[in-house]
């Protein structure tokens, strides 16, 4: 009979974890991730018949920060949260529900570790229903997402300026003050910058806006986070028909020419596509979401 049990990995099993990771996700970002995030006590593996069959990680994510009214007054609390990441099962063990075991165990571990909430960005749209039916996770984060084909015809007013992580975080928090969002830890941006260095891209400021750019292929650029000043007259971030948006895209295209640009930016409540899920832990039973904007997940390292 097949024996399955869940446990924390041992430090001597790190090479096995890396092999499992490479088998499921490939090798991009692996060294950066293990250097910045691996803590055996926040990692779970499923062992079957003496072999590591599945894994998942709980990452300190920062805090879910309430929106303000633009004057600095806070209408809610900051919620300490953890991110479930890199839940993967070797091909020969799939179909046994091991991923569900990992996710439910990590949610429980988050509560035991003192987190108020745990978040997850499903890798496929079908997984939203899958996790909703099998875990305590519920849809919560949304994103406006656009695919722009062809180079912009607008001449940019200003070119991107590559900035440090600390400067990016300062600009980011200012632009997101009216949006419920994850105030992510600096090492999340260090990992993202490591990915950018491997693939091409970086953290940029363009005028009053900021962007995270990552090259996915020779023909595709991901703008994984585009944050712009809120337009007071319309109460939304600029969209594809807006001149500010066009200038930002044209500015990026000067440095990263491509056939396609995938762009993510905050969505107004009731719009956009679902992007991430949330489960509350411990004594937190409700999380206020008073804002014109849907909660913003930010980068998911996808």
In tens, the pLDDT along 210-247 reads 999 999 999 999 999 999 988 655 545 545 557 788 88
Kindly indicate the confidence band of residue 4, based on its pLDDT and cuts at 50, 70 and 90.
confident
* Token pair belonging to 200: 């091409």
Domain 143-265 belongs in CATH node 3.30.160: no
Note the pLDDT tens digit of each residue in 19-33: 999 999 999 999 999
Packing angle of the helix pair 126-134, 98-112 (nearest 10 deg): 60
In sequence order, the 6+-apart residues with CB closer than 8 A to the CB of 285 are none
Packing angle of the helix pair 14-25, 30-37 (nearest 10 deg): 140
Spatial distance between the Cα atoms of 180 and 52, rounded to a whole number of angstroms: 38
Spatial distance between the Cα atoms of 228 and 206, rounded to a whole number of angstroms: 9
* Token pair belonging to 267: 């969505």
Residue 32's pLDDT is: 96
Residue 302's pLDDT is: 82
Residue 126's pLDDT is: 93
pLDDT for residue 206 is more than 90: yes
Q: pLDDT over 70 for what percent of the chain?
A: 89
Across the range 159-168, mean pLDDT stands at 96
Closest CA to 249 of 274, 222, 267: 222
Chain mean pLDDT for the chain: 89
Kindly indicate the confidence band of residue 50, based on its pLDDT and cuts at 50, 70 and 90.
confident
Cα–chain center distance at 23: 22
The residue ranges of DSSP E strands in 199-268, in sequence order, are: 201-206, 209-215, 220-227, 260-265
Kindly indicate the confidence band of residue 68, based on its pLDDT and cuts at 50, 70 and 90.
low
Packing angle of the helix pair 186-199, 30-37 (nearest 10 deg): 170
Residue with tokens 């806070």: 74
Please, which residues bridge with residue 210 across strands? 205, 227
Whether the pTM exceeds 0.85: the reply is: yes
Beta carbons within 10 angstroms of residue 90's beta carbon: 18
The highest-level CATH class for domain 4-141+274-280 is alpha beta
Note the pLDDT tens digit of each residue in 51-66: 899 999 999 999 998 7
Note the pLDDT tens digit of each residue in 125-159: 999 999 999 999 999 999 999 999 977 677 777 88
Note the pLDDT tens digit of each residue in 167-201: 999 999 999 998 999 999 999 999 999 999 999 99
pLDDT for residue 78 is more than 90: no
Residues of the chain with CATH 3.40.630.30: 4-141+274-280
Note the pLDDT tens digit of each residue in 85-106: 999 999 999 998 999 999 999 9
Please, which residues bridge with residue 56 across strands? 44
Of residues 20 and 2, which shows the higher confidence score? 20
Of residues 281 and 188, which shows the higher confidence score? 188
């Amino acid at each position: 009979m097949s024996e399955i049990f869940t446990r924390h990995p041992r430090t001597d099993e790190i090479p096995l974890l890396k092999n499992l990771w490479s088998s499921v996700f490939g090798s991009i970002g692996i060294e950066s991730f293990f250097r910045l995030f691996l803590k055996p006590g926040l990692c779970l593996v499923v062992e079957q018949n003496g072999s590591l069959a599945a894994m998942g990680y709980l990452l300190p994510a920062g805090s879910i920060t309430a929106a303000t009214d633009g004057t600095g007054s806070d209408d809610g609390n900051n919620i300490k949260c953890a991110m479930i990441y890199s839940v993967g099962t070797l091909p020969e063990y799939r179909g046994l529900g091991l991923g569900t075991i990992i996710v439910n165990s990590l949610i429980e571990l988050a509560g035991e570790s003192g987190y108020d909430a745990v978040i997850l960005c499903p890798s496929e749209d079908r997984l939203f229903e899958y996790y909703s039916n099998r875990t305590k996770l519920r849809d919560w984060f949304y994103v406006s997402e656009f695919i722009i084909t062809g180079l912009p015809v607008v001449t940019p007013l200003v070119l991107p300026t590559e900035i440090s992580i600390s400067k990016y975080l300062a600009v980011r928090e200012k632009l997101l003050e009216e949006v419920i969002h994850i105030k992510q830890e600096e090492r999340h941006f260090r990992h993202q910058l490591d990915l950018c260095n491997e693939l091409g891209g970086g953290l940029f400021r363009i005028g009053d806006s900021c962007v995270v750019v990552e090259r996915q292929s020779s023909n595709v650029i991901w703008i994984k986070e585009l944050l712009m000043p809120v337009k007071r007259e319309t109460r939304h971030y600029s969209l594809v028909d807006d001149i500010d948006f066009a200038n930002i895209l044209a500015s990026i295209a000067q440095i990263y020419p491509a056939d396609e640009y995938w762009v993510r930016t905050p969505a107004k409540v009731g719009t956009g596509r679902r992007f991430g899920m949330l489960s509350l832990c411990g004594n937190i039973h409700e999380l206020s979401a008073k804002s014109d904007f849907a909660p913003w997940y930010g980068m998911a390292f996808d």
